[in-house]
Amino acid sequence: MNSHVTHAVIPVAGFGTRMLPLSKSVPKELLPLGNRPAIHYVVEEAIAAGIKHIVLVGHAQKSAIENYFDVNAELDNQLRAKGKDELADSLNWLPDDVSVSMIRQGKPLGLGHAVLKARPIVGDNPFAVLLPDVVLNPFTTNMSTDNLAFMMKEFEQSQHSQILVSAVADEDVHKYGIAKLKQAEQLQRIANTDNSNASFAVDGFVEKPSLEQAPSNLAVVGRYVFAPEIFDYLAKTEPSVGGEIQLTDAIDALISTQGVDVTTMLGDSFDAGDMTSYMQAFIYFAQQQLSQK
């Protein structure tokens, strides 16, 4: 095992039913946020943090995502023949030392199942998971030091898996995995970590609890760094909430045998998988980009 995190798994197999009709024939991950598809920012975030191998877990209708990260030779030739070299270069922005591969999930059995599908490529290495519905704000966050980059560094030092969390409003706790930790510790730590990421031990997680059952208001944001042993637990995880194999259940099992920490999120994030927040995010990204022109 290598303690350096160089792989990132991005599950892209969801149908995006909350984004219909936009997502009927275009994968929701390719819907625009300003002038780029949403997944562009997620892959940029991973690369800025130091990831070299991106593994997309998708299905047959998602091959347009893989194409987005490949060179379109015909388009490239045509642009260069017309003297538009700068535009052609801007489309080939993926660094030479970064690879993007895609495997298929087969059956839609849940997030945990999708992550397990990446095992043949990730092997016995630690890895990151980025859920592409969640887009961290690239205009206010330094992606080469904060959040995922911080979690990767923290893992390399402690060998503790890291789960990014952020406080959410009471009416939203039922949409997320919610962290269980000692109340006093939680309040004290959060109060002290407003301007930097901080990482501390977690007791467990509850997937999509009601407000009454929620152990805190700290929600799993959709960025994870895992020790490779998570695959062993995923392989044993039975379907639970929503009839799906939940990543949260495998994390709970991992916590019983090795250290797992939550990392508090710095900056803000957007939910690009929900129509209302997607439209708000689109306007924000477009305004930022128009003001930079």
- Please state the closest distance from residue 240 (CB atom) to ligand G1P, in A: 11
Residues within window 238-257 making contact with ligand G1P, judged by CB under 6 A: 247-248
Residues within window 15-44 making contact with ligand G1P, judged by CB under 6 A: none
In angstroms, rounded to a whole number, what is the distance separating the alpha carbons of residues 169 and 123?
38
Cite the beta strand spans of the chain per DSSP E.
7-11, 32-33, 36-37, 53-58, 99-104, 127-130, 134-136, 161-167, 177-180, 199-201, 204-207, 218-226, 260-264, 269-271
In angstroms, rounded to a whole number, what is the distance separating the alpha carbons of residues 108 and 230?
20
Determine if 130 is a binding residue for ligand G1P (CB under 6 A).
no
In angstroms, rounded to a whole number, what is the distance separating the alpha carbons of residues 59 and 125?
24
Burial of residue 131, with CB atoms counted within 10 A of its CB: 0-12 exposed, 13-18 middle, 19 or more buried:
buried
Structure tokens, 171: 């009416």
- Please state the closest distance from residue 230 (CB atom) to ligand G1P, in A: 14
Residues within window 261-290 making contact with ligand G1P, judged by CB under 6 A: none
In angstroms, the first-to-last Cα distance of the chain is 46
Residues 157-176 as x/- pattern, contact with ligand G1P by CB under 6 A: -------------------x
Nearer Cβ to ligand G1P (33/220): 220
- Please state the closest distance from residue 54 (CB atom) to ligand G1P, in A: 19
Determine if 222 is a binding residue for ligand G1P (CB under 6 A).
yes
**Which window, 58-66, 129-137, 142-150, 223-231, contacts ligand G1P (CB under 6 A)?**
129-137
Nearer Cβ to ligand G1P (205/285): 205
Angle at which helices 38-49 and 148-158 cross, to 10°: 40
- Please state the closest distance from residue 271 (CB atom) to ligand G1P, in A: 7
Nearer Cβ to ligand G1P (126/177): 177
The single residue among 214, 220, 250, 260 that binds ligand G1P, judged by CB under 6 A, is 220
Find the residue with minimal CB distance to ligand G1P. Answer: 177
Residues within window 82-111 making contact with ligand G1P, judged by CB under 6 A: 111
DSSP-derived 3-state class of residue 112: helix
Nearer Cβ to ligand G1P (39/219): 219
Structure tokens, 254: 């991992």
The two beta strands, 177-180 and 204-207, are antiparallel
Determine if 131 is a binding residue for ligand G1P (CB under 6 A).
yes
Determine if 234 is a binding residue for ligand G1P (CB under 6 A).
no
Cite the beta strand spans of 79-217 per DSSP E.
99-104, 127-130, 134-136, 161-167, 177-180, 199-201, 204-207
**Which window, 23-31, 34-42, 140-148, 216-224, contacts ligand G1P (CB under 6 A)?**
216-224
Print burial letters for 215-240: b (CB count within 10 Å at least 16), e (below 16).
Answer: bbbbbbbbbbbbbbbbbebbeebeee
* Binding region for ligand G1P (CB under 6 A): 111, 131, 133-134, 176-177, 207, 219-220, 222, 247-248
